[in-house]
Chain A
Amino acid sequence: MENIKSQSRRDFLRSSALAGGGLMLSFSWFSSKAAEKAVELNLAEPVWSELAAYIKITPDNVIKILVPNPEFGQNVMTSLPMIVAEELDCDWKNVVVEMSTHDNVKYGMQFTGGSNSVRMYWKPLRNAGAAARQMLIDAAAQAWGVSASEITTKLGVLSHSSGKTAKYGEMAAKAATLAVPKDVKLKAPKDFSIVRNSKKNTEGLKVVTGKPLFGMDYRVDGMLIAMIQHPPAFGMKLKSFDPTATKKMPGIKDVFSFKLYDDGFEQAGFDTRTFNEMIAIVGNSTWEVMNARKKINAQWETAGDLKETVMGRGGKTEKVVPARLETTSSQFEMMAEYAKKPAQQLRKDGDPETAFKNAAQIIERTYNAPFLAHNCMEPMNFFAHVQDDKALVSGPIQAPGWMEPTLSKLLNLPADKIEIQMTRMGGGFGRRAYAQYAYEVARISQKMKAPIKLIYTREDDMTYGIYRPMYTATYRAALDVNKNLIGFHVIGGGIPENPIHANRFPAGAVDNYLAEGWEIPSNITIGAFRAPRSNFNAAAEQSFLDEVAQAMGKDPIAFRLDLLKRAKENPVGKNNDYDASRYIGVLELLKEKSGWGKPENAGKKRGVAAYFCHASYAGHVVDMVMRDGQPYVESVTSAVDCGVVVNPDAARNMVQGAVVDGIGQSFYGALTHKDGVAEQNNFHNYRMIRHNEAPKKIDVHFVENDIDPTGLGEPPFPPVFGAVANALFKTTGKRHYNQPFMSEVGRES
């Protein structure tokens, strides 16, 4: 127990206390030195008075704020407590932050994804902070025998005109006995003093000192390590295997095959099933398990068609997963064939057929994009300790609330006997909304009757993925003799999902509009990937609009603004998803901040794109250069309207990251298959953007308004693809329609 020695007494006390309850790792949660000091002075286990679910206060005035949503780099461990602290009207210096337990009744969905964290918790957390503040005021009013309306608060101090004052901590115990008020007054945005003021990441110090924060770092006494051998190709299954040699390897406890779901299991919408029967290798240490795994002697065979029952948001569906060993080139051929067949009409305005028949000029372009692997830096992993009457699972998960009912069914345990702990995630990007790795380790722990941590290698993570689907879309624009846009048509499809958002721009801005979609089923598993579908649509649509503007002889920003003006003043059709005014606002900010059209920028190779998704608006101007015969993005100007920006510097970081991610994916990202086998399996053959390929500058600007926060993690990502494509045209003189762009640039040279 050498690690205990280096801990302070306080850490030790805390880890002991936590270990009794839930085997949590021994790390402290303090967000500021002042708060840390305050708890240190009170060496006994602090007495926390709980107010309004998310807030706990000690008599020493340390304010602990619980974060309901799992952290995967979107910085909710800082932004969500800021929202509470704002309405609580406390001093940020006294705030400590802690990841909450999983309790959907107490805390709501606790879902990280869909750019939802701040959006979903903005009101509940403001209400919680304001309710707790009111409870502290009421407690002081009772203690002082004055009217609550005469008490004011500032920086965590209660004051009365008589001169009486008290810190929140002094009133917390009494306040905790009062009922939580329902209708509380919230601050006017102009009075915000914490929200809109940048605060440092509350976990920054733990990150830079290498503290155990992640699922991969989780450890308990007696824990065994497990790895999984999955079939080598999508469309294959286990035929037979001989565990003898593997079992004889040092440190190995057991080797066995197991089924993820029992036959006839009804999957929930996010219960993916890449392979249902796999081989588990369980042993004492990671290296021993890795080595033993190499000795596995398994035979695999082609799987037949697979029928599965899925209970998703659209109700119960029976899916047939085809028996095929798919290859990328034939997948693209198949998509090209499907694109010619009649498709499902998704939206129609006016008379697009006639518009195209009467057109003086038709522009038609087809765009393609491959599967993408999420490649979170922390490979998939999870811990489980399943016992006869209860289970503890812990690890990186975006959607603990979706995982719980499935685990309950798989383990045949009531949900309240399953404790789910949420560790910090080393990236998510949608991948960790699919908990199959947690189900796998739960199955393995159940069989082994031991605490187990399952680790995927990078190769497992990449070849056994829940990929961004393959997509294609053909866009057509009809121009009349005066070069007016009179018709717009998009038909899109994918393996296995249609990407089209039929009610988004330019729907609503063109009189004659048609959107259609189709899908090809596949046994290659797919799922959400940062801004699902949008990440393809923005690439295709925004480069198509660029080309249409060029054909019309218009400036690309002016062209978009003209269309948006139409959508704002006299929208075509109903159900337009977007707010044209906010879209215009972002483009105008982008135009101003990038110096678009200014003489000093005339020589730059610039591309622009803007997009709406997850209720927010984002656009970029990308400046590209050629170095050593290769295109690089040199600098980027970004504009975003996501409503109130809670933590501006962290929000800028998020946008900068989305820009780098978008450049990397559009330039280099691709996961291809040959006979069902992923052709990329680690970072030597899956190219990720690196330091030297990142822009030198990314200036981020936010539209200032008082709109309740909308999404931020995803919205800045999709338009990067379009802006890169458009800048690439300016740089190379050629339009690029197929991602990753660098594979094409490479072929030309």
Chain B
Amino acid sequence: MAKYNLKINGKTRNVDVDPSTPMLWVLRDTLNMPGTKFGCGMAECGACTIHLDGNATRSCVLPVSAIGKSAITTIEGLSENGTHPVQKAWLEHDVAQCGYCQGGQIMSAAALLKSNPKPSDEDIDNAMSGNICRCGTYLRIKEAIKTAAKASKTK
């Protein structure tokens, strides 16, 4: 076990866990923040996507010992009350079916728009193809990302 001070959603959180523990399980089990989902455990599905210093990162293969001073954002901290343009666009397009993957999809989309405010269809495919949606909501996700891109631009 080892002690870590983690910067998560703008707050400092202290945890005492095995250094090999993936950030996913620190969030879910230790900190009771279950918005970040377990899907595959090998960075193949994207359900566990968080932001590490603003970059989309798969938390299921990211050991807590590798975090250092980096700032973590989770779906719970993306905005207060779901007001991030990507979250709003997701609601506008009523994207979700089962909803399990959508937190990860939103985190990938938010990171994409931060680095590329006007993504092409191809940019969206490239950035999002690591996130599986078993219900098949890919079209709506793409539409929602475009809506969010427009909303961010006009703001």
Contact = CB atoms under 8 A, between A and B. Distances in A.
Interface of A: 2-3, 72-75, 198, 200-201, 203-205, 207-214, 216-217, 219, 225, 250, 285-288, 291, 375-379, 424-429, 455, 457-459, 649-650, 653-654, 656-661, 664, 682-684, 688-692, 694-698
Contact of B29 (A3, A285, A695): A285
A135 to B, nearest CB: 33
A73 B129 CA distance: 21
Given A200-B91, A378-B37, A210 B75 contact: yes
Nearest to A199: B94
A207 B102 contact: yes
B85 to A, nearest CB: 11
A239 B90 CA distance: 51
The list of the 4 closest CB pairs from A to B, nearest first, reads A210-B35, A660-B136, A426-B100, A73-B98
A656 B30 CA distance: 38
A660 B42 CA distance: 24
A219 B34 contact: yes
Contacts of A201: 94, 96
A690 B131 CA distance: 7
A695 B125 CA distance: 12
Interface string B19-47: 01110010011101111111111101101
Nearest to B77: A210
B41 A457 contact: yes
Interface of B: 1, 17-18, 20-22, 25, 28-30, 32-42, 44-45, 47, 74-76, 78-79, 81-82, 87, 90-91, 94-103, 106, 121, 124-126, 128-142
Contacts of B142: 691
B134 A688 contact: yes
B140 to A, nearest CB: 7
A32 to B, nearest CB: 12
Contacts of B138: 660, 689-691, 694
A653 B140 contact: yes
Contact of A209 (B82, B126, B128, B139): B82
Nearest to A218: B34
A684 B137 contact: no
A379 B38 CA distance: 8
B101 A377 contact: yes
A286 B98 contact: no
B96 A378 contact: no
A609 to B, nearest CB: 18
A691 B100 contact: no
Given A209-B82, A692-B125, A683 B40 contact: yes
A201 B93 CA distance: 10
Contacts of B140: 653, 656
Contacts of B124: 691
Contact of B99 (A2, A426, A458, A694): A426
Contact of A658 (B1, B29, B136, B139): B136
A688 B30 CA distance: 31
Q: Which of A3, A212, A287, A688 has the most CB of B within 10 A?
A: A287
A250 to B, nearest CB: 7
Nearest to B137: A657
A691 B82 contact: no
B91 A653 contact: no
Contact of A287 (B22, B102, B129): B22
Contact of A657 (B32, B75, B100, B135): B135
A690 B125 CA distance: 9
Contacts of A660: 136-139
Contacts of A696: 121, 139
Nearest to B88: A208
Given A210-B75, A212-B34, A660-B136, A204 B40 contact: no
A15 to B, nearest CB: 13
B25 A425 contact: no
A694 B139 contact: yes
Contact of A691 (B1, B36, B78, B128): B128
B22 A207 contact: no
A632 to B, nearest CB: 11
A682 B61 CA distance: 14
Contacts of A285: 25, 29-30
Contacts of A74: 97
Q: Which of A378, A682, A689 has the most CB of B within 10 A?
A: A378
A225 B29 CA distance: 10
A181 B116 CA distance: 60
Nearest to B38: A216
B136 A288 contact: no
14 contacts: A204-B96, A205-B91, A207-B99, A209-B87, A210-B33, A210-B36, A286-B38, A377-B133, A378-B37, A378-B39, A424-B98, A690-B129, A691-B129, A691-B141
A206 to B, nearest CB: 8
Q: Which of A75, A455, A697 has the most CB of B within 10 A?
A: A75
B35 A209 contact: yes
Given A208-B82, A209-B76, A660-B136, A287 B18 contact: yes
Given A377-B45, A649-B94, A3 B39 contact: no
Nearest to B26: A287
Contact of B42 (A205, A664, A682): A682
B34 A377 contact: no
Nearest to B28: A286
A458 B102 contact: no
Contacts of B135: 73, 377, 427, 657, 661
Given A201-B96, A208-B102, A458 B39 contact: yes
B44 A664 contact: no
Nearest to B47: A377
A214 B98 CA distance: 10
Contacts of B134: 375-377, 427, 429, 661, 688
A216 B40 CA distance: 13
A236 B10 CA distance: 51
A222 to B, nearest CB: 14
Contacts of B103: 207-208, 210
A210 B76 contact: yes
B126 to A, nearest CB: 7
A659 B135 CA distance: 10
Given A73-B98, A210-B35, 10 more contacts: A207-B103, A208-B102, A375-B134, A426-B98, A654-B97, A682-B40, A683-B40, A690-B132, A691-B131, A694-B139
A653 B100 contact: no
Contacts of A217: 34
A291 B1 CA distance: 14
B139 A697 contact: yes
Nearest to A683: B44
A731 B84 CA distance: 42
Q: Which of A208, A428, A457 has the most CB of B within 10 A?
A: A208
Nearest to B76: A210
Q: Which of A198, A217, A664 has the most CB of B within 10 A?
A: A217
A711 to B, nearest CB: 16
B42 A209 contact: no
B40 A458 contact: yes
Contacts of A457: 41
Contacts of B32: 2-3, 219
Nearest to B40: A458
Nearest to A650: B94
A204 B18 contact: no
A190 to B, nearest CB: 26
A426 B99 CA distance: 7
Contacts of B33: 210
